[in-house]
Amino acid sequence: MNNAARRVPRFTACLAALFAVVAVNQWVVQVNPTTTALFMLLVVLAAATRWGLAESIFTSVAAMLSFNFYFLPPVGTFTIADPQNWVALFAFLVTAITASQLSASAKRRADEAMQGRSEVTRLYELSRALLMEESSDSLRHAVLRAGQILRIGEVSFYDTASGKVFGDAGVVVTVEDLANVARSGLAAEKGGIGIIPVRMGTRVIGSLATSGSRLSQAVRDSVASLLAINYERTEALKRAAAAEVAKRNEEFKSSLLDGLAHDLKTPLTAIRTCVTRLISIPPRTEEVRQELLSIIDQESSRLQNTISEAIELARIESKELHLERQLAPVADIVEMALGEVRDENPARFSVDIPAALEVNVDPLLVRRALLQVIENARKYAPPDSPIRIEANKQSGLVQLSVKDRGPGIALDELERIFEKFYRGRKRKEQVDGTGMGLAIARGIIEAHGGSVCAENRPGGGAAIVFSIPVKQ
């Protein structure tokens, strides 16, 4: 409905109010013309306060004519006999119009104040929503939230760096329109939609298009500033994440090089020393010869295990691990793993597993994962400390745990110890290793649809727990 159509019922209401004043003062309560003029003036002020200047001026003119027709002699005509009444009528009209202008102006300022308060409230809500947004797609969510909170039909943001548009571009405003404003740094308008450049300091980072005539220029600029802050915050978070990833990669590379250098160099050095001894200075006794050959055999096996672990981890990460599932008793898997453990004190291992407990897995791979965890516990726990292996069934999962009485795991490392090449800070200088064992174990268990976690035991020590679905 346009303004003219809306004003027709308002004008009618003003005329009805004036007629009511005339009727009361003319036929119900006989009062003097001055009192009637004051009542009419109240109607004019009410129209100005309720609607605005146009309605109040219309009411002023209608009140002046009514006052002249019904209360100034000769009554019943628009003729004025006494010149003094002209002055009174003119003074009434001026007073009515002036009062209506003042009232309309006060109403307009009050409306502007209310609108300003509403805009500030919405901008605060928008800024709060943007600051709380931490998703990876925060810029798109920021533009969406701006449209919802400010109640505007179309809003879009053009990112100069990536050339992407977030929002509703393409309906009225095209990507090229947004790009032109971002390049030129000058505001533009197209189809009732305003486009302004978005700046971070003196640098233009994009452009913002918004529809809706209710938005003032100050609000548009504020929204652009909030989006610029959110954009810079998002970029800062990305840079921080990239720096953290780079730092982690450097740690991985350093740990890998340190571990592999030690695990490859040590056996190679021992093998070379023994071979040189056999070649250059032949042993005088068969016992010495056998001892040297035994060292060569052990170190060759160690070297082979290190290379096998690296290859196995690469297979797991490349998703080339093929499972050959079968229903296997958990006790048999544990027995196979313990049979491969190299420990001078086999009595330290204790097993508590129900004989009937079975799981549908690739037994060779799960044995490999379990062996990695047992070897890890054997290396980090004191030589004569007990290592307990337990299994039970809970809620469709078989939980297989290896518990030791070693130094335990730092709270901030409970999850990180399963990362490839990561080794605990406290013991990595004292115990040989590459940091691949637990990563291999986790990869194998996760390939079976299970999970792995680490926890510290009451009284000291750590527990590594496999959770494997009974059926797949």
Burial of 221 (0-12, 13-18, 19+ CB in 10 A): middle
- For position 308, what pLDDT does the model report? 67
Contact 329, 357 (CB under 8 A): yes
Domains of the chain by start residue, with CATH: 3-115 (no CATH), 136-320 (3.30.450), 326-469 (3.30.565.10)
- For position 324, what pLDDT does the model report? 82
Average pLDDT over residues 287-314: 71
Instruction: Name the more confident of 20 and 225.
Output: 20
Instruction: Name the more confident of 252 and 357.
Output: 357
Q: Name the nearest CA neighbour of 152 among 186, 122, 110.
A: 122
β pairing state of 188-190 and 193-200? antiparallel
Reported as half-sphere exposure (CB side, CA atoms, 13 A), residue 343 has a value of: 25
Whether residue 64 is predicted with pLDDT greater than 70 in this model: the reply is yes
What distance in Å separates the CA atoms of residue 208 and residue 220, rounded to the nearest whole number? 9
Instruction: Name the more confident of 172 and 69.
Output: 69
68-77, 161-170, 211-220, 389-398, range with the lowest pLDDT:
211-220
Instruction: Name the more confident of 153 and 37.
Output: 37
In tens, the pLDDT along 44-59 reads 777 777 777 777 778 7
- Per-residue three-class SS string for the chain: CCHHHHHHHHHHHHHHHHHHHHHHHHHHCCCCHHHHHHHHHHHHHHHHHHCCHHHHHHHHHHHHHHHHHHHCCCCCCCCCCCHHHHHHHHHHHHHHHHHHHHHHHHHHHHHHHHHHHHHHHHHHHHHHHHHHCCCCCHHHHHHHHHHHHHCCCCEEEEECCCCCEEECCCCCCCHHHHHHHHHHCCCEEECCEEEEEEEECCEEEEEEEECCCCCCHHHHHHHHHHHHHHHHHHHHHHHHHHHHHHHHHHHHHHHHHHHHHHHHHHHHHHHHHHHHHHHHCCCCCHHHHHHHHHHHHHHHHHHHHHHHHHHHHHHHHCCCCCCCCEEEEHHHHHHHHHHCCCCCCHHHEEEECCCCCEEEECHHHHHHHHHHHHHHHHHHCCCCCCEEEEEEEECCEEEEEEECCCCCCCHHHCCHHHCCCCCCCCCCCCCCCCCCHHHHHHHHHHHCCCEEEEEECCCCCEEEEEEEECCC
Q: Name the nearest CA neighbour of 34 among 71, 87, 69, 76.
A: 71
Task: Indicate the pTM of the whole model.
Answer: 0.42
Q: Name the nearest CA neighbour of 471 among 446, 445, 449.
A: 449
% of the chain with per-residue pLDDT over 70: 69
User: What is the CA angle 344-443-249, rounded to 5?
Assistant: 100
What distance in Å separates the CA atoms of residue 99 and residue 95, rounded to the nearest whole number? 6
Whether residue 332 is predicted with pLDDT greater than 90 in this model: the reply is yes
- For position 380, what pLDDT does the model report? 82
